[in-house]
């Protein structure tokens, strides 16, 4: 169980990592080292913020109105969507993006690496409620490394004796200066499902620029993506492995207003570029086997 004192006595690292209460009864890990600072909420195994020491602005965006409450998803950061992405295939009443992002996770280890970065390992706490929605003996684990780059690896273990299929995403919200001057590169020529455009299949021509709600699931792509931010004059590089889909999402004004937790104008300052396995890229995890999807984010100044 996640008790603050126990967590701090077992897993705190002097001068680098400590646990504290946040919001309405949740616990967050606060990490700061020579390279970067970050926060991670134990509910959802949810990286909420990441700011490299050399960056003028955070790289991972968190809404000013993000709700930190039991069972609620947090607007911003890097939600873990698992074991399905988007709406459940058959059960309309099941939570969008799966239950992993709104349930408790437990810390299984912390350490400082030789390069001075900080690592925290977590596992999702299994429960009857999750089993009722997803009746498989599967375990989700997360390994987060906070350094000059941010690395997140999501591992699914199949502890049973039959194969199962998962969908997943690291649904990261990136901080940008202004969505209007932002482009996403790396998906040129890729096929995508246009969720904001009548669920039709399209092919990406050139870089992605934004002029309205954008909600696209790109398939069959393992490419690194780059967010080019003209306002903050920087590039965010998103490298990935074990992921064959990339989701690009921004709600624009009307949808963000309806969602209620973006804050005034918050939607202008974020874009989601999600490393995923969705649609035809859902993954079969073999009996007794495992699958890892991993990302690494870095930021660089634009000359
Ligand atoms: C994206 C989906 O990944 O997440 C969008 O493609 C969805 O359709 C968005 O609106 C946000 O989802 P949620 O459940 O966090 O509001």
**Pairing relation of β-strands 173-175 and 118-124?**
unpaired
Average pLDDT of the chain, as a whole number:
97
Q: What is the number of other CB atoms lying within 10 angstroms of the CB of residue 127?
A: 11
The span from the CA of 293 to the CA of 245, in Å, is: 11
Q: Is 141 in the pocket of ligand 1 (CB under 6 A)?
A: no
> How many CA atoms, within 13 angstroms, populate the side-chain half-sphere of residue 201?
6
Q: What whole-number percentage of the chain has pLDDT above 90?
A: 99
Distances (CA, A) of 147 to 34, 51, 151, 260: 8, 9, 8, 32
What is the domain partition of the chain in residue ranges?
3-301
For residue 303, the model assigns a pLDDT of: 79
Q: How many residues does the chain have?
A: 303
Does residue 100 register a pLDDT over 90? yes
Tokens of 29: 């890990």
Does residue 224 register a pLDDT over 70? yes
pLDDT (tens digit per residue) in 186-220: 999 999 999 999 999 999 999 999 999 999 999 99
The span from the CA of 163 to the CA of 267, in Å, is: 39
Q: Is 73 in the pocket of ligand 1 (CB under 6 A)?
A: yes
Residues acting as catalytic residues: 171, 274
Three-state secondary-structure class, residue 9: helix
Q: What is the number of other CB atoms lying within 10 angstroms of the CB of residue 6?
A: 12
Please answer whether residues 292 and 154 qualify as being in contact, where contact means their C-beta atoms are separated by less than 8 angstroms: yes
For residue 124, the model assigns a pLDDT of: 98
Does residue 76 register a pLDDT over 70? yes
CA of 276 to the centre of ligand 1 (A): 13
For residue 199, the model assigns a pLDDT of: 97
**Pairing relation of β-strands 225-229 and 234-241?**
antiparallel
What is 3-301's CATH topology?
Beta-galactosidase; Chain A, domain 5 (2.70.98)
pLDDT (tens digit per residue) in 19-33: 999 999 999 999 999
Q: What whole-number percentage of the chain has pLDDT above 70?
A: 100
**Residue whose CB lies within 8 A of the most ligand 1 atoms, among 86, 197, 243, for a mutation test:** 86
Q: Is 281 in the pocket of ligand 1 (CB under 6 A)?
A: no
pLDDT band at residue 1 using 50, 70 and 90 as cut-offs: low
pLDDT (tens digit per residue) in 134-190: 999 999 999 999 999 999 999 999 999 999 999 999 999 999 999 999 999 999 999
User: If you take atom 13 of ligand 1, which residue's CA is the nearest one?
Assistant: 96
Mean pLDDT across 70-82: 98
First vs last C-alpha separation in the chain: 48
Peptide linkage before 83 cis (omega within 30 of 0) = yes
Tokens of 41: 């909420």
User: Rg of the chain's alpha carbons, rounded to an integer?
Assistant: 18
Handedness of CA 277, 283, 285, 289 (dihedral sign): negative
Q: What is the number of other CB atoms lying within 10 angstroms of the CB of residue 226?
A: 18
Three-state secondary-structure class, residue 204: coil
User: If you take atom 6 of ligand 1, which residue's CA is the nearest one?
Assistant: 215
The span from the CA of 97 to the CA of 249, in Å, is: 14
The span from the CA of 199 to the CA of 217, in Å, is: 10
Mean pLDDT across 114-138: 97
The span from the CA of 67 to the CA of 88, in Å, is: 23
For residue 214, the model assigns a pLDDT of: 98
Tokens of 245: 């889909």
């Amino acid at each position: 169980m996640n008790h603050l004192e126990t967590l701090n006595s077992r897993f705190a690292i002097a001068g680098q990592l400590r646990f504290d209460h946040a919001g309405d009864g949740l616990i967050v890990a606060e990490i700061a080292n020579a390279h970067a600072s970050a926060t991670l909420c134990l509910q959802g195994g949810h990286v909420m913020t990441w700011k490299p020491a050399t960056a003028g602005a955070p790289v991972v965006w968190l809404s000013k109105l993000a709700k930190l409450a039991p069972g609620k998803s947090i607007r911003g950061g890097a939600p873990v969507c698992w074991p399905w992405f988007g709406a459940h295939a058959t059960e309309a009443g099941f939570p969008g993006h799966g239950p992993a992002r709104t349930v408790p996770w437990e810390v299984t280890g912390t350490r400082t690496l030789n390069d001075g970065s900080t690592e925290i390992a977590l596992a999702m706490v299994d429960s009857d409620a999750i089993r009722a929605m997803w009746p498989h003996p599967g375990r989700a684990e997360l390994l987060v490394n906070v350094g000059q780059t941010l690395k997140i690896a999501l591992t699914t273990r199949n502890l049973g004796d039959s194969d199962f299929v998962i969908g997943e995403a690291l649904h990261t919200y990136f901080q940008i200066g202004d969505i209007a001057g932002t482009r996403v590169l790396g998906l040129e020529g890729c096929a995508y499902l246009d969720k904001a455009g009548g669920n039709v299949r399209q092919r990406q021509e050139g870089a992605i620029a934004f002029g309205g709600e954008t909600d696209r699931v790109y398939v069959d792509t393992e490419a690194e993506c780059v967010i080019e931010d003209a306002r903050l004059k920087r590039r965010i590089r998103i490298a990935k492995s074990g992921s064959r889909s990339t989701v690009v999402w921004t709600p624009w004004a009307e949808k963000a207003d309806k969602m209620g937790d973006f804050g005034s104008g918050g939607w202008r300052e974020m874009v989601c570029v999600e490393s995923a396995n969705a649609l035809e890229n859902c993954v079969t995890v073999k009996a007794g086997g495992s699958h890892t999807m991993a990302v690494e984010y870095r930021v660089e100044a634009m000359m």
